[in-house]
Amino acid sequence: MFSARATNKLTMPGSWCDIPRGRQFRQSLEAQLAPWWPKMFGFHLIKIGALSCEIDSSDCMIPHQVNVAPQGNTLQVFGEAAQLPFLDKSVDVCVLANNLGYSSDPHWLLREADRVLIEDGWLILSGFNPLSLLGLRKLIPLYSHQHPQSSRMFSQFRMLDWLSLLNYEVMHHRLFIPVPWCDPDSFGNRYGRFLGCISVIVARKRTVPLTLMPQKRRILKPGLNNVVGATRQQTPPDCLKRR
């Protein structure tokens, strides 16, 4: 697996409004997550980062929902995403909306979220897709320093690979909004989703490995018990011998 560390400092936008058509991106992301909020239960939900804090999670049954970011007006906890001020295995749901693209070390960010999540906890990820029209605009110098082209874009396949290494079961993943400059109900946005500008992943933390290692398979494989005398040739008694 290639390193995903960034050498230059990345500045995360303070709101979806700082991203061109950011409001449309946020509303479409909320529509993707709407069917999943009622399925999540527990005691604590945290939204990490300024973009995550603006995601509407009012349909979730979890009562204690905390916004975590370095700065902002709607925060309950001031903190960095790479150093969360929470105990191990103390959070039921963790939301990382477009955080990986603005993190200098996304691997560490995922491990930190994994640290605070309980067993069978929920992890929600989203990010901009490099194989999209927004990804192509990164090649144009005029747009390369603007949001969201200034962020790092990871493909959905790469993020799924990271989650598999951390032993997460992916419950839902999808690409959406392939043409952000058109209406969401337009022909391109409805039938070109494989080139969507935003990807969303809903996953659950698992304790039992989803794929058993070869050593585990040999241990768990039932062996054949040797029956005493099953392979030994028996000599018939004298009364049964032919005279």
* Confidence band, pLDDT 50/70/90 cuts, at residue 230: very low
Q: What is the mean pLDDT of residues 217-230?
A: 52
Task: Give a yes or no: residue 30 inside a domain.
Answer: yes
**Average pLDDT along the chain:** 81
Closest among 154, 147, 150, 106 to 129, alpha carbons compared: 154
For residues 111-129, average pLDDT? 94
Is residue 90 a part of any domain in this protein? yes
Residue 125 phi/psi, 5-degree rounding, is -120, 145
Q: Which domain holds residue 162?
A: 16-205
pLDDT digits (tens, 9 = 90+) for 40-77: 999 999 999 999 999 999 999 999 999 998 887 778 89
pTM: 0.78
* Number of domains forming the structure of the chain: 1
Q: pLDDT class for 240, splitting at 50, 70, 90?
A: low
47 in any annotated domain: yes
Average pLDDT over residues 234-238: 58
For residues 98 and 52, give the distance between their C-alpha atoms in angstroms, rounded to a whole number: 8
User: What CATH number does the domain containing 33 carry?
Assistant: 3.40.50.150
Model pLDDT, residue 47: 95
- Is the residue at 104 inside a domain? yes
The verdict on residue 230 lying in a domain is no
Helix (H, G, I), strand (E, B) or coil at 30: helix
Q: Would you state the structure tokens that stand for residue 60, as one six-digit string? A: 């979730």
Instruction: Extract long-range pairs of 17-24: CB within 8 Å, 24+ residues apart.
Output: 18/147, 19/147, 19/148, 20/146, 20/147, 21/180, 21/181, 22/147, 24/177, 24/180, 24/184
**Does residue 210 fall inside a structural domain?**
no
Q: What is the C-alpha separation between 98 and 128, in angstroms, rounded? A: 7
**Domain membership flag for residue 10:** no
**Percent of the chain with pLDDT strictly greater than 70:** 74
The answer to the question of residue 42 being in a domain is yes
Q: Report the pLDDT value the prediction gives residue 113, as an integer from 0 to 100.
A: 94
